[in-house]
Amino acid sequence: MKHKKSTVILMLCLSIFISSISSFAYALEDDGVIDLYEVFSNMKDRMKTEVGSRIFKWSMHLPDDAIVYKSDRVNYFNMYTDSYKSQVSLEVTKNEQKYSLEDILYSKQMNANDFNYYWYFSQKEFTFNIQQDEHGEKYIRIVKMDPFYDYYLVDDAAEEFSSYIENRIYIKNDYIYNLEIHMEGKYYRENPEMFSKLASSFILNYDETNPYIKELSDSVSEPRLYENTSYGWEITVNPYWKEEGISNARVQQFTAVYSHEEIYGSEEAQEYETTPESYQPFREGISVSLVSSALPHETIEDWGQQEIDQLQQNYNEKVYEILLTEKVTLGDVEGYRVKVKYNTVSNNPYVVDTLYVIGNGYKYRIVATISDKKYKEPNTNEAFETMLKSFRLTNQRSQYLDKILDPTDLIDWNAAKEIKTKKYNFKATLTRKWHTYDNFYSGGYGYYSYYDYYDKYYYAPMGNQESVSAYQTGNNMNLIMMAGFDTRNLEDSIKEYVKNLLERDEVRIGLATVDIASTTVGGIEIYRIITEYDLAAINQFAKDDETKSYDYSQLTNQYIYMMKIGNDLYTQTVSIPLANTTDYTKSEMEKVWKNTQIAGINYSQQIKNWNRHDHSEFQDQSNPTQVDYNKMEALLMQDLSL
């Protein structure tokens, strides 16, 4: 009987064990516990026990319950784990100054404040030395306690509850690794081996053969297909690239997460990697956009030629070069390719490679932008070329995608348009090529419109100054018309303004000219002030001296008219970026003044001639033009001795 009872118990236990096997297989889904790491990972990531970055060459143990935050580049990593009662943070920075551990140790010790007024800046540091970890790597070891409890508890009680903090600073791979681990004080003192396990798992290496490491970068080391299912296209994205903004956007941007130096190493990248000081007027990458619906008989050749015509009209011929125009085949559709090199930044040209595609009833524009240095490097050029030509149209589109009108086909750009001040009788008749600033044209609506209304309601324009402005797209021309109360003599206002112009360095050395002229109409004196830069001279100047550089899209030629009626000063200024100064833009500028009325009178039609003024009329002769640097140095040394 006793034997039968034991047999029954054994069979019951065996049945329970067998029945539990299938339920165990689904325990991840059915146990009611949500693992955040599992939720935000792929199925193949569930067995990963380490995390790291192959670019910045580090890896670390990943507890089962870890909650991870990281930057896109994984140069900042933060992890919280309840099972270890700990928080881990890691910051990786480029060691540009070639610091040693001793340099950093000295800096941290010397910069420690002797007195901190605010208690939350205080530190309780107990260890501050250089040691060697379990893997043979030297590091700065800083042991400290959270001072929070010392303000409420005393002696041993404060230390018992204070978090144990260990800060480790490594230098390797030309990077500085700043690792800090916070562990709850009571838990640390009961389980010091858990801290050692977590801290010792940090390795300054990324083993790509280890299947248990999860790469934290948003991008991957292999090319991958990106599909835009809202607008019906796809493209192969380069390794270590990612899309920006929301997925399936109408304008989708793709950019590199890491620099070439970070991916390939400094030796391979140094030939074409721009220096940190180099300025680029663009964000390197690729953008894909659905422009509009296509017209029934519109062709890619017509579209591409229109873009070339706009380029030639709006850009100075010295700041661009058309490298290539050709038809290309992209799957089952054709595209028209226009490749242009821009020299809008001195000594730092860049290439804009554009594909125009018509298909599915829509117009698509694919634009690759890259510095000329990288464009000339074979591997980088091939990577961009492959990505650009991988563009394909698909049949996957949103059910809401319908006709998208191109407004350029609906507007008579030569139709008249008036811009004027509300209080002063100051207006100009323009064409519809000029756009005004307001909520609709500037894209403001909803949330921002509310604040625009708020400002107008509570801060109504009750001053005696007023201005209106307009701009042209495609060439960045800008018009501003100002009127206001000014009791100074016109000559004094002009002298003050011109004096500042003449003190510009480029004017002093002949890279820019300032032309001042005046005339009188009906007893009203009018001044014209023109400031123009010499593009060829600036180019040569920057070429002869590499420390000097200019962005010709930001450097502007200015054409100003000023006059006074009574105590009201009227100023009209048209600014044209040097890169966009062409015969067309200058003719557009001239039309503005010719179609301007002040107090109901068009003064431009009554001007017969201009009287030019010499610069000496506007320079203050009482001030010496030369600075006595020896005298300045003597005075400075005298001040220092005091």
Measured CA to CA, the distance from residue 337 to residue 328 in angstroms comes to 7
Predicted confidence at residue 459, as pLDDT, reads 41
Predicted confidence at residue 25, as pLDDT, reads 35
Amino acid letter, 4: K
Predicted confidence at residue 155, as pLDDT, reads 55
Please check whether residue 226 is in contact with residue 159, taking contact to mean a CB–CB distance below 8 angstroms.
no
- Reading the block at residue 460, the tokens are 């109504």
Predicted confidence at residue 185, as pLDDT, reads 85
The 3-class SS string of 259-301 reads CHHHHHCHHHHCCCCCCCCCCCCCCCEEEEEEEEECCCCCCHH
Measured CA to CA, the distance from residue 389 to residue 392 in angstroms comes to 8
CB atoms within 10 A of CB 372: 15
Predicted confidence at residue 508, as pLDDT, reads 93
Predicted confidence at residue 43, as pLDDT, reads 62
Q: Which of 4-18, 256-270, 283-297, 532-546 has the lowest mean pLDDT?
A: 4-18
Across the range 15-26, mean pLDDT stands at 39
pLDDT of 93 > 60? The answer is yes
Which carries the bigger pLDDT value, residue 117 or residue 534?
A: 534
Mean pLDDT of the chain: 83
Q: Is 572 exposed, middle or buried (0-12, 13-18, 19+ CB in 10 A)?
A: buried
When pLDDT is cut at 50, 70 and 90, the band that residue 358 belongs to is very high
Determine the number of helices (DSSP H) and then strands (DSSP E) in the chain. 18, 31
Q: Is 169 exposed, middle or buried (0-12, 13-18, 19+ CB in 10 A)?
A: buried
Across the range 269-288, mean pLDDT stands at 65
- Reading the block at residue 211, the tokens are 């299947």
When pLDDT is cut at 50, 70 and 90, the band that residue 44 belongs to is low
Please check whether residue 543 is in contact with residue 525, taking contact to mean a CB–CB distance below 8 angstroms.
no
When pLDDT is cut at 50, 70 and 90, the band that residue 445 belongs to is very low
* Angle between helices 300-314 and 583-594 in degrees, nearest 10: 70
Across the range 52-75, mean pLDDT stands at 90
Q: Which of 28-42, 60-74, 333-347 has the lowest mean pLDDT?
A: 28-42
pTM summary value: 0.77
One-character DSSP codes across 533-570: E-HHHHHHHHHH-TT---BTTTSEEEEEEEEEETTEEE
Predicted confidence at residue 64, as pLDDT, reads 86
Rounded to 5 degrees, φ, ψ at 36 are: -60, -40
Measured CA to CA, the distance from residue 231 to residue 393 in angstroms comes to 9
Across the range 279-306, mean pLDDT stands at 90
Which carries the bigger pLDDT value, residue 34 or residue 340?
A: 340
Sequence-distant (≥ 6) Cβ neighbours of residue 193 within 8 angstroms: none
Q: Which of 149-158, 285-294, 592-601 has the lowest mean pLDDT?
A: 149-158
Predicted confidence at residue 622, as pLDDT, reads 54
Q: Which of 177-186, 283-292, 401-410, 615-624 has the lowest mean pLDDT?
A: 615-624
- Reading the block at residue 129, the tokens are 């030395």
Across the range 497-505, mean pLDDT stands at 93
Enumerate long-range contacts of 615-619, CB under 8 Å, 24 or more apart: 615/498, 615/502, 615/514, 615/516, 617/495, 617/516, 618/494, 618/495, 618/498, 618/499, 618/502, 618/516, 619/499, 619/502
Predicted confidence at residue 71, as pLDDT, reads 87
Across the range 34-55, mean pLDDT stands at 68
Q: CA dist 49 to 86, 301, 323, Å?
A: 17, 55, 51
Please check whether residue 214 is in contact with residue 62, taking contact to mean a CB–CB distance below 8 angstroms.
yes
User: Helix, strand, coil proportions of the chain in percent (round to 5)?
Assistant: 30, 35, 35
Amino acid letter, 359: G
- Reading the block at residue 351, the tokens are 């290439």
pLDDT of 566 > 70? The answer is yes
Across the range 601-627, mean pLDDT stands at 80
pLDDT of 549 > 60? The answer is yes
Predicted confidence at residue 279, as pLDDT, reads 63
Q: Give the whole-number percent of the chain exceeding pLDDT 90.
A: 59
The 3-state DSSP class for residue 145 equals strand
Predicted confidence at residue 418, as pLDDT, reads 94
Q: Which of 15-24, 101-110, 120-129, 317-326 has the lowest mean pLDDT?
A: 15-24
Q: Give the whole-number percent of the chain exceeding pLDDT 70.
A: 78
- Reading the block at residue 112, the tokens are 């420690």
The 3-state DSSP class for residue 491 equals helix
Measured CA to CA, the distance from residue 305 to residue 208 in angstroms comes to 49
Which carries the bigger pLDDT value, residue 267 or residue 615?
A: 615
Q: Is 153 exposed, middle or buried (0-12, 13-18, 19+ CB in 10 A)?
A: middle
Across the range 67-91, mean pLDDT stands at 92
Predicted confidence at residue 265, as pLDDT, reads 67
pLDDT of 298 > 50? The answer is yes
Predicted confidence at residue 450, as pLDDT, reads 41
Measured CA to CA, the distance from residue 456 to residue 460 in angstroms comes to 5
Predicted confidence at residue 21, as pLDDT, reads 37
Please check whether residue 228 is in contact with residue 248, taking contact to mean a CB–CB distance below 8 angstroms.
yes
CA dihedral in degrees (436, 439, 440, 446; nearest 10)?
180
- Reading the block at residue 342, the tokens are 């821009």
CB atoms within 10 A of CB 254: 18
pLDDT of 465 > 90? The answer is no
Predicted confidence at residue 122, as pLDDT, reads 52
Amino acid letter, 521: V
Measured CA to CA, the distance from residue 83 to residue 175 in angstroms comes to 30
Q: Which of 93-102, 382-391, 632-641 has the lowest mean pLDDT?
A: 632-641
Which carries the bigger pLDDT value, residue 269 or residue 524?
A: 524
Strand partners, 237: 224
Predicted confidence at residue 281, as pLDDT, reads 73
Across the range 600-625, mean pLDDT stands at 83
Which carries the bigger pLDDT value, residue 447 or residue 503?
A: 503
Amino acid letter, 386: T
* pLDDT tens digits, 530-540: 999 999 999 99
Measured CA to CA, the distance from residue 556 to residue 554 in angstroms comes to 6
One-character DSSP codes across 400-423: T------GGGT--TTSEEEEE-SS
* pLDDT tens digits, 163-199: 889 999 999 999 999 999 999 988 998 999 999 999 9
pLDDT of 442 > 50? The answer is no
Predicted confidence at residue 439, as pLDDT, reads 42
Q: Which of 148-162, 164-178, 243-257, 538-552 has the lowest mean pLDDT?
A: 148-162
Please check whether residue 336 is in contact with residue 300, taking contact to mean a CB–CB distance below 8 angstroms.
yes
